[in-house]
Structure 1
Amino acid sequence: MPDTAAGEPIHVALANTLRDAIQRGEFSPGERLPAERELADRFNASRTTVRLALSALKSQGLIGSGQGQGTYVRKARPLQVLAMDQDRRARRAENHAATFNAEVARQGRIGRQDILDVSPASATAEVARWLSMPEGAPVLVRRRVMLVDEEPYQLGDSYYRHELVKDTAIAQPQPVEEGVLAVLERVHGKPISYYIDELSFRMPTPQESTALKLDPGVCVVRAVRIAYDEDDTPLEAFDQLLAGDKHILVYEVSAE
């Protein structure tokens, strides 16, 4: 029987014991856990207690199950995102515009983006706030999914003032070879000066879970990056939805 704190349910203590075993490496990513009966015998617990413990670990995204697969430790291969660095002008030039693909390649993996839709739309209240424009004003939106090793990692919707980009490569449903930010700077006539990030964390909708192939209990990170020129005019709002178990966000913050 696993050790229990005062008043702690047995299944919670068992879930904690199994979690510790996984984190110590006793069960490797992708490895099947022992069957319920074996776990019940090992920990002198009822099978109901074992089921509750496994259910708790599933809800936390630590283990998964599938038809004919039993219960297994999930394979977590998070992507490191250098959040403060990825859109710097020097990095964009170094990566020849395909920033996401290049960053994924740096980590020995293969990245690509599938464009889902490029079309005009009306600014919602949220988009209007990001782009400092009236609600309902015309915008252009580019929707895409970012994949790593053919597995969906991110959903990304980018919003622009329609009048600014309507006659550019940004308005076409295909990759922008010179890079979206380079196009923006050229047609706007001023360079991007800085970015502001808005991060929030929540559970996904059913549609988002399907699109990102999330296991139960896995949260998403919403990262909205707004690009501004030197006059504080917003040029792009990039609304990303990141699978919470597939990313490590890295921020370098100056101590000056």
Structure 2
Amino acid sequence: MSLNRTDSGLINTLLDAVAGGTLEIVDLTAPLSSSTPTLKLPAPFVNLIDFSLEAVSAFDEPGPFWKHNNIHTGEHIGTHVDAPSHWISGRDGDDVSQLPLTRLVAPAVVLDFSAQAAEDPDFVLEIDHVKTWEAEHGALPDGGWLLLRTGWDKFAEDADAFLNIDDGGSHTPGISAACAKWLGEETGIAGLGVETVGIDAGNAGAFDPPFPAHYYLLGNNKYGVTLLQNLAQLPPTGALIVVAPLKITGGTASPARVLALVEHGR
């Protein structure tokens, strides 16, 4: 049955708030193109293909009335959702088509450590950072998302600066192994969202265990979202996030459109 404006007071209130500007929709998604920065694993590991469009027709002989393309991409390219089945610790967990909707539309909090990351690109979030934030803003939301703002989205159009690789590896911020374990095992969050290319710090392959954000979060039925933008437009608390991956059967991840709803003036 179609939903008319008279069918639901809650829906009407939401629509009126958006139309009137008291509820703002913020796009947290990075544009997806062949120039989108992607994770580069060293040999002997195999990398995913980058995103590309293949023209099939453009109002011409193969399709005179339409334009359409094939898309070629790895699962973990651009702004994307990591499902538990992506990592060895969650290998028997949900794939990306099985993620519960109530965890994809959920409250979000923003922890802003952009100043620290500007001083040290290898900055990692520790348990004490989160507890200090909680003392000011309240507990992390059960079933909600922790969004880590590091200011890294400012490099999103410069792949070299974004990946920040030198002879010592990749230098991008993330979370420590202890904090990853605590978030995975001791909190009720649905997942972690970051502005970087992956949910782990750039040099997290040297942590114990390697890539602990993946290991502890995905291993405890939590999710990751990467390559977010515009977190500066969100308040520390009070936003609602909408994470919309493709429903890929058997997929370990999917490119996603990620939106936030924010009350004007918060």
The bucket for the TM-score relative to the shorter chain is: under 0.3
Q: Which structure is higher in strand share?
A: 1
State TM-score, norm by structure 2: 0.25
Bigger Rg, structure 1 or 2:
1
State TM-score, norm by structure 1: 0.26
